[in-house]
Structure 1
């Protein structure tokens, strides 16, 4: 919890009273490798701060998995569209290693927003982070070579190669694992 508290002060830049209020709502949850937090058809009714571990958000289609996002230490994880709309998620949120999460439920989130204007700063921080990562990835998929997409991945998620299997990284990049091996051999 100390890391999250420090994060709220140093990165999000919240006041002491706002940090204390947010901390009063979060619940610590330990999850095991391969455990799912969200599955398609279920509403994502929480946002999680990854205190330790790694998660992935992916969709399945025709027996294949397509990685959409990774959530490493000190990032927020959710089926964010589902969280915002209250509609069922279309993907899976799964732990790639044993992880510790700090969970903020949707009702608590809404209560924070209703009582504290500074909570909007916290909500905007989360929203901006999701939006910017999504935009960077979409633009990269359309504009960049596979090698450039790989470089962006390494920049966006430092240390990801030690935590995520190569075939999942290849899926995120929109390439085959063999192509990722070739790219890595050229760098």
Structure 2
């Protein structure tokens, strides 16, 4: 779990002792492709960190799946509003490829926060990371064209086209798969 260790020490400003503390209370789960980390209607009782693999979050809208986000290795994954409020989640998180995810439970997270103020740095880092991702996505949906959203996706998630089926990418962009194909073909013609 070197990625999580790196995040804690280099980005959240914690120590190796904090990392050891976290790994004592957390657990690793292995999700086969297509298995759910959480389903809509259940309460999210964890913050996850994707060590390996790929996840997606989605909601159902008018009977269709709408992708909200992708979680690649090195990403935090949670139905965070549900986690914070301990109310049922609106969305579902599913593995798009076999995944290894480190989970810390709501109760253990709260205990760590109570144990030392330095854990709030970790909590702030997680919260800030998830909040910024959400804001970028919302702003992009409201302000950018489909092409601009696509370019931002490629910038934010390098190699995503090799990892995620086109119909999932189209759903994330808020367009139909054939529109994505047309947009990509026009991009290649110009290049």
TM-score (normalizing by structure 1):
0.96
Give 1:127's aligned residue.
Answer: 127
CA RMSD after TM alignment = 1.1
The answer to whether the aligner puts 1:160 opposite 2:160 as a matched pair is yes
Structure 1 residue 37 displacement after superposition? 1.4
Residue aligned with 2:97, SS: coil
Q: How does 1:29-178 map to 2 (within 5 A)?
A: 29-178=29-178
CA distance in 1, matches of 2:127, 2:162: 27
Residue aligned with 1:19, SS: helix
CA distance in 2, matches of 1:103, 1:16: 18
In terms of mean alpha carbon deviation, does 79-88 or 4-13 score higher?
Answer: 4-13
CA distance in 2, matches of 1:126, 1:6: 14
Runs of 4+ in structure 1 off by over 3 angstroms are none
CA distance in 2, matches of 1:61, 1:2: 37
The answer to whether the aligner puts 1:23 opposite 2:23 as a matched pair is yes
CA distance in 2, matches of 1:3, 1:69: 20
Q: Is the 8 A contact 1:28 1:101 kept in 2?
A: yes
CA distance in 2, matches of 1:86, 1:94: 20
Residue aligned with 1:172, SS: helix
CA distance in 2, matches of 1:93, 1:52: 15
In terms of mean alpha carbon deviation, does 23-32 or 66-75 score higher?
Answer: 23-32
Structure 1 residue 16 displacement after superposition? 2.6
| Gaps in structure 2 of 5+ consecutive residues | none
CA distance in 2, matches of 1:149, 1:130: 18
Q: Is the 8 A contact 1:18 1:116 kept in 2?
A: no
Structure 1 residue 186 displacement after superposition? 2.4
CA distance in 2, matches of 1:130, 1:116: 22
